[in-house]
């Protein structure tokens, strides 16, 4: 597989020169300064591509070209937004950047409740805690009907927490769930936004009455609309699975398991309509057998995220090392190397450790942890290549 790395643009404190030294071949990035829904101009694409190439690397994958909310819920301006999306795809294709990752998660991209969960060895992981999430949903958002999504025990524990939780702890939870994870991925809420909870509730309301079938229909509509452009310019689209891969906040979710993936691949049965195989997201669903899914969908996978998680008995999800957990990364490398030895792969989030603990990286995207994970994956790739 091609060894790629998610880099957040010229302002990223991790430089391209550093990445060359640690074995990175390709860059995964986006025009992070362009607001959602606006066209990515040929000039801006060229400028970033030239910058990457000057450092001896290549721009392998776009992550993400964001799909505006209105395309997802089917708003009045979706035709215009899809037109803009097509122009961006054309501009990318003409520039030779031909793999585009996106997601179709309503309102909120990836969700964690704790961005700094301490491991026994002193490093830190990202974490999803069901009771904390229930607390956010029931006691902070006060979403109508939220209670039915949690077990009696989870609700009791959330109610207990309500008696002792401080305002600072509440703010920290809000920050983790809807701010810190969202801003840097061009999400709906950014640091500094006023009243993020109110804003977030307005976003949730956009999906009132949109069920799974409707969201699927909107995804199909979007994919059908962009496929001719993808065919003409040789662009491969690869949807990122929902993270975590189960229902949240009463929103419909449509990329959570093998049936979902099978559905969208068949609904628009075109090789340019493919998958980002995110082992981290998929492994966080206890219903998912990750290697079996890799075997089944490798042929339509255009991009791989290597990361692993452990689902604890109470349903909480911990991001583990790349050598542990339900991701089964050794087996995944075997499967994907065999399928396509040039498939772009990036290590996804990793543990926060050593000198990085006091630095300010985007959550999950510190340097040393990812460097260690990349070295582990490079070792796995080398070993797998010797197997007959």
Catalytically annotated residues = 240, 278, 305, 348-349, 365
Q: Which of residues 155-214 bind ligand DNO (CB under 6 A)?
A: 185
Closest CA to 69 of 229, 233, 182: 182
The yes or no reply on residue 277 touching ligand DNO (CB under 6 A) is no
The DSSP symbol for 275 reads: E
Residues 42 and 379: their CA atoms lie apart, in Å, by 38
Judged by CB under 6 A, which of 40, 85, 110, 150 binds ligand DNO? 110
Please report how close the Cβ of residue 329 comes to ligand DNO at its closest, in angstroms: 16
Burial (CB count <10 Å: 0-12, 13-18, 19+), residue 375: middle
Alpha helices in the chain (DSSP H): 16-21, 42-54, 69-73, 78-95, 130-135, 152-164, 167-174, 196-205, 212-233, 258-267, 279-283, 290-297, 329-339, 367-385
Among residues 98 and 157, whose Cβ is nearest to ligand DNO? 98
Q: Using CB under 6 A, which of 64, 91, 273, 351 touches ligand DNO?
A: 64
Nearer CB in complex with ligand DNO: 305/328: 305
CB of 3 to ligand DNO, least distance (A): 17
Number of residues that bind ligand DNO (CB under 6 A): 11
Touching ligand DNO, residues 280-319 (CB under 6 A): none
As given in the structure block, the two tokens for residue 265 are: 């691949």
Q: Which stretch binds ligand DNO (CB under 6 A): 96-104, 195-203, 282-290, 317-325?
A: 96-104
Binding mask 116-155 for ligand DNO (x = CB under 6 A): ----------------------------------------
**CB closer to ligand DNO, 327 vs 364:** 364
Residues of this chain, 31-60, that bind ligand DNO according to CB under 6 A: none
What is the pattern of x (binds ligand DNO, CB under 6 A) and - over residues 338-357?
-----------x--------
Task: Check: CB of residue 187 under 8 Å from CB of residue 108.
Answer: yes
Contact 136, 173 (CB under 8 A): yes
Which residues, including other chains, have CB under 8 Å from residue 58's CB and lie 6 or more apart?
A: 25, 26, 27, 52
Residues 212-231 interacting with ligand DNO (rule: CB under 6 A): none
Question: Which of these segments, 98-106, 264-272, 333-341, 352-360, binds ligand DNO (CB under 6 A)?
Answer: 98-106
CA 120 to chain centre: 26
Closest CB to ligand DNO among 154 and 348?
348
d(Cα 260, Cα 268) in Å, to the nearest integer?
13
Q: What are the tokens at 240? A: 């990122």
Q: Does the footprint of ligand DNO cover residue 109 (CB under 6 A)?
A: yes
Q: What tokens were used for 320?
A: 């583990």
Residue closest to 81 by CA, chosen among 210, 270, 267, 226: 226
Residues that bind ligand DNO (CB under 6 A): 63-64, 101-103, 109-110, 185, 240, 349, 364
């Amino acid at each position: 597989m091609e060894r790629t790395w998610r880099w957040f643009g010229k302002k990223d404190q991790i430089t391209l020169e550093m990445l060359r030294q640690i074995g990175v071949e390709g860059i995964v990035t986006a025009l992070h300064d362009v607001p959602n829904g606006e066209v990515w101009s040929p000039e801006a694409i060229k400028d970033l591509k030239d910058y990457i190439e000057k450092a001896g690397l290549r721009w392998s994958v776009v992550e993400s070209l964001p799909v505006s909310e209105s395309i997802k819920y089917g708003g009045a301006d979706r035709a215009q937004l899809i037109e803009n999306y097509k122009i961006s795809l054309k501009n990318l294709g003409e520039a030779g950047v031909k793999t585009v990752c996106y997601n179709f998660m309503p309102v909120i991209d990836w969700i964690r409740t704790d961005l700094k969960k301490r491991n026994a060895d002193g490093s830190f992981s990202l974490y999803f805690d069901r009771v904390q999430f229930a607390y956010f949903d029931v006691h902070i958002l006060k979403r109508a009907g939220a209670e039915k999504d949690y077990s009696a025990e989870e609700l009791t524990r959330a109610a207990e927490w309500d008696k002792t939780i401080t305002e600072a702890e509440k703010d920290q939870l809000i920050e983790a769930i809807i701010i810190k994870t969202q801003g840097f991925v061009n999400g709906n809420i950014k640091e500094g936004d006023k009243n993020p909870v109110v804003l977030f509730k307005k976003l949730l309301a956009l999906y009132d009455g949109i069920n799974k079938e409707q969201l699927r229909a909107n995804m199909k509509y979007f994919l059908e609309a962009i496929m001719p452009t993808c065919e003409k310019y040789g662009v491969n689209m690869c949807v990122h699975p929902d993270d975590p891969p189960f229902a949240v906040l009463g929103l419909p979710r449509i990329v959570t398991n093998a049936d979902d993936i099978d559905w969208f691949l068949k609904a628009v049965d075109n090789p340019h309509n493919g998958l980002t195989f995110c082992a981290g997201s998929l492994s966080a669903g206890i219903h998912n057998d990750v290697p079996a899914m890799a075997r089944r969908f490798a042929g339509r996978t255009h991009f791989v995220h290597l990361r692993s998680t452990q689902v604890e008995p109470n349903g909480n999800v911990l991001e583990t090392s790349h050598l542990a957990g339900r991701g089964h990364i050794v087996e995944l490398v075997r499967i994907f190397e065999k399928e396509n030895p040039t498939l772009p792969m990036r290590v996804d989030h990793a543990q926060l450790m050593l000198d990085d603990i006091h630095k300010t990286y985007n959550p999950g995207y510190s340097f040393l942890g990812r460097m260690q994970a990349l070295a582990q994956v490079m070792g796995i790739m080398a070993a797998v290549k010797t197997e007959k």
